[in-house]
Amino acid sequence: MPHKTQDTVTPRALWICAPGEARLLPADIGSGELLQMRYSAISRGTERLVLSGNVPTREQDNMRAPFQEGAFSFPVKYGYCAVAERAEGPNVGEMVFALYPHQDMFRLPPDTPIPLPPGVPPARAVLAANMETALNVVWDSAVSAGDRVAVVGAGVVGALVGYLAAAMPGTEVTLCDLDPARGALAARLGCDFAAPDGLSGDYDVIVNASASAAGLALALEHAGPGATVVEASWHGTTPVALPLGGRFHSQRLRLISSQVGALPPERLPRWDYRRRLAKALGMLTDPRLDVLISGESDFADMPRDYATILADPATLCHRIRYT
């Protein structure tokens, strides 16, 4: 459990204490230079599983967030989208990004946070972890110029995958979602839009980011002969039934997983996690990406609002501000 520190002020963090229950409680401040949190962001898909206690026992080590306190299921301090200000040292006042839970102040070794690149405002930089995931999905998918691409599930990660794919010359990218309001989001990011029953034709690459079995089945249905289907969702303890009948085999479809916790093998000789995260941060200069911020709340209101935010299917990236 959290404990008192030698610092003058004991930090507070958002702790998940029971299914559906979050509280602001004291937390370990860590060691290194002092950082004052300015914004963090809720990653709805993963944090909803943590809040419900649905992290599989065998995956609990893999699911640990950097600088997590506690253990699954409860109590646990979780999160990984943090923008903070250096509060001491030679670069005091510099804004940085760190993979850190929702906490008002903390300490890290000076070389651990990544300074925000020019042109990336702190309020948008909370998208860095999601952009990192989307970048990994694009790498795993091997999508290329001219491809016909569909992304099932227009949440933050799905929308960012579509955004990155649409930037490639000649690609035709469709975001697919149950919510018709995501059509405006797709258009803003340079993508077409379709409801699940409106998706038509075959695709060269199709990504499921819907966190649903129905979304993955739809992806398999619309994958062209020999096409790649990428499962980018995290289903937790929920079993997934798939229609792996005739079409899956007759069309020689390729089903692969993508998970941000592992770099694609072909990039390991040149890339590490820090390089990938720094690249993701640098890809957040586009003001259009602000459309992915669906709301903002005060840190003090999180015990009241956290479960509601996670339960709302309209939530994209919900930003938390610290004063």
State the Cα–Cα distance between residues 159 and 141, nearest whole angstrom.
15
Instruction: State whether 189 and 84 are in the same domain.
Output: no
Asked if 124 and 290 count as a contact pair (C-beta separation under 8 A), the reply is yes
Whether 69 is in a domain gets the answer yes
Q: Which long-range contacts (CB under 8 A, 24 or more apart) does 264-268 make?
A: 264/136, 264/139, 264/140, 267/139
Instruction: State whether 144 and 249 are in the same domain.
Output: yes
Instruction: State whether 144 and 173 are in the same domain.
Output: yes
The pLDDT value given to residue 170? 98
Low-confidence ranges of the chain (pLDDT < 70): 1-7
Alpha-carbon distance values, 130 to 19, 156, 159, 285, 319 (Å):
24, 7, 10, 14, 13
**Gyration radius of the chain over CA positions:** 20
CATH number for the domain spanning 147: value is 3.40.50.720
The single residue listed with the structure tokens 């989307």 is: 134
Coil, strand, or helix at residue 289? helix
Whether 272 is in a domain gets the answer no
Nearest Cα to Cα of residue 66 among 34, 115, 108: 108
Our CA angle for 184, 187, 192, nearest 5°, is 110
For 13-27, what is each residue's pLDDT tens digit? Answer: 999 999 999 999 999
The pLDDT value given to residue 5? 41
Instruction: State whether 106 and 182 are in the same domain.
Output: no
State the Cα–Cα distance between residues 219 and 233, nearest whole angstrom.
12
Instruction: State whether 84 and 60 are in the same domain.
Output: yes
Whether 271 is in a domain gets the answer no
Asked if 116 and 83 count as a contact pair (C-beta separation under 8 A), the reply is yes
The pLDDT value given to residue 293? 98
Whether 7 is in a domain gets the answer no
Instruction: State whether 92 and 178 are in the same domain.
Output: no
State the Cα–Cα distance between residues 129 and 250, nearest whole angstrom.
37
Torsions phi, psi for 15 (to 5 deg): -105, 135
The pLDDT value given to residue 3? 40
Whether 32 is in a domain gets the answer yes
Whether 206 is in a domain gets the answer yes
The pLDDT value given to residue 9? 82
CATH number for the domain spanning 53: value is 3.90.180.10
Give the bridge partners for 14, in sequence order. 24
Instruction: State whether 122 and 135 are in the same domain.
Output: no
Asked if 154 and 186 count as a contact pair (C-beta separation under 8 A), the reply is yes
Give residue 188's domain range. Answer: 131-266
Whether 21 is in a domain gets the answer yes
Coil, strand, or helix at residue 306? helix
Whether 202 is in a domain gets the answer yes
Nearest Cα to Cα of residue 146 among 163, 171, 166: 171
Instruction: State whether 167 and 153 are in the same domain.
Output: yes
The pLDDT value given to residue 245? 83
Instruction: State whether 117 and 168 are in the same domain.
Output: no
Instruction: State whether 99 and 188 are in the same domain.
Output: no
Helix boundaries (H) for 20-127? 44-52, 122-125
Instruction: State whether 198 and 295 are in the same domain.
Output: no
Instruction: State whether 123 and 180 are in the same domain.
Output: no
**Number of folded domains that form the chain:** 2
The pLDDT value given to residue 91? 95
For 242-274, what is each residue's pLDDT tens digit? Answer: 888 878 999 999 999 998 988 999 999 999 999
User: 117: burial class by Cβ within 10 Å (0-12, 13-18, 19+)?
Assistant: middle
The single residue listed with the structure tokens 């060691």 is: 31
